[in-house]
Structure 1
Amino acid sequence: MSPRRCLLASFVAGALLSPPRAHAQPPDREGVRRAVLDYVEGFYDGDSTRLLRSVAPFVRKIGYYRASPDSAYRPSAMSFPDGFMSYARGVREGRNHTPAGAAKEIALLDVQDQTASAKLTAWWGTDYLLLARHDGRWMITHVLWQSPPAR
């Protein structure tokens, strides 16, 4: 057998004897997008069910807001479930208002099999979200946000 045929035969034999490769599942981008949508619409509509479905019980939400465009940023933390549910209740009772046509832009930054990150542009500013899969569901574990920057 010629060296070329021998090399070809070795390659074919190696390919046939190699164990089959597991096919990786594509990232669950839609599941991550749904979790972020539940989060923002939970706040917009005052829907505590959507917040409970999309936010991990141990979530950390820290933000920086300004009372006016010319004031300095101030840190703010929102507790879960108390702060989240209080805000949702305020929307339902008319104390908190979502502006008509409020922004709701979701950008998925990275989606892997267990963790993901997303950017949400909402009427209150920008949220950077970290998510993890818990019991088969995507849940938000961390939120870092800020009011819109001065223009």
Structure 2
Amino acid sequence: MRTYLLSFALCFIFISATGQNTSKDLDAVKAACMDYINTFYNADTTLAYKSIHKSLRKTGFYFAEEENKYSKQLEMPFDKLIALAKRWNADGSRANDSSPKEVSVFEVSDKTAVAKVSAVWGIDYISLMKIDGKWLIVNVLWQSPPKFSVTESK
């Protein structure tokens, strides 16, 4: 009986600890994605250095209204992200307190996570990896505000 109770207690402790870690991981993934948005909204590159891996691969498409078409595939490594963030909203004309800041986390595993960010510039699908206990953005696929979006029904 004592062995049974000890086993039950250890299982309960393990499950509780795992639940706390997953909740912390989910919060950390959301925080990294919010840092990504605020890097641009606040022209604050310290947030990029905190939450984006130096090997970042960011690629996507901008819709040019005057031409009524999407750009060719645009690439942005980490150094170009930093340069853009410094100037993109430096005067506060592109984003403000009422600009959208939405983070939807699709999945968090022990080493990888996937999320979607919706911001004034459009949508970004973000891949993150956990390195030395810290969640870092490593891949971003983005586009200007979509003309349509379809999701799978469950």
1:98 alignment partner in structure 2: 94
Query: What RMSD in Å do the two structures reach over aligned CA positions?
Result: 2.6
Q: Counterparts in 2 of 1:1-151, with a 5 A limit?
A: 21=11, 22-23=14-15, 25-26=18-19, 27=22, 28-68=25-65, 71-74=68-71, 75-81=73-79, 83-91=80-88, 93-94=90-91, 97-100=93-96, 101-150=98-147
Q: State the percentage of identical aligned residues.
A: 35
Report the AA paired with residue 18 of structure 2: Q
Q: Which has the larger radius of gyration?
A: 1
Name the TM-score, length of structure 2 as normaliser.
Answer: 0.77
- Say whether the 8 Å CA contact 1:43–1:51 is kept in structure 2: no
Name the TM-score, length of structure 1 as normaliser.
Answer: 0.78
Report the AA paired with residue 79 of structure 1: P
Report the AA paired with residue 103 of structure 1: P
Q: Unpaired runs of 5+ in structure 1?
A: 1-11
Q: Unpaired runs of 5+ in structure 2?
A: 149-154
What's the offset of the Cα at 1:97? 3.7
Over residues 20-45 of structure 1, what are the superposed CA-to-partner deviations in whole Å (9 max), with x where a residue is unaligned?
55436132110111100111001110
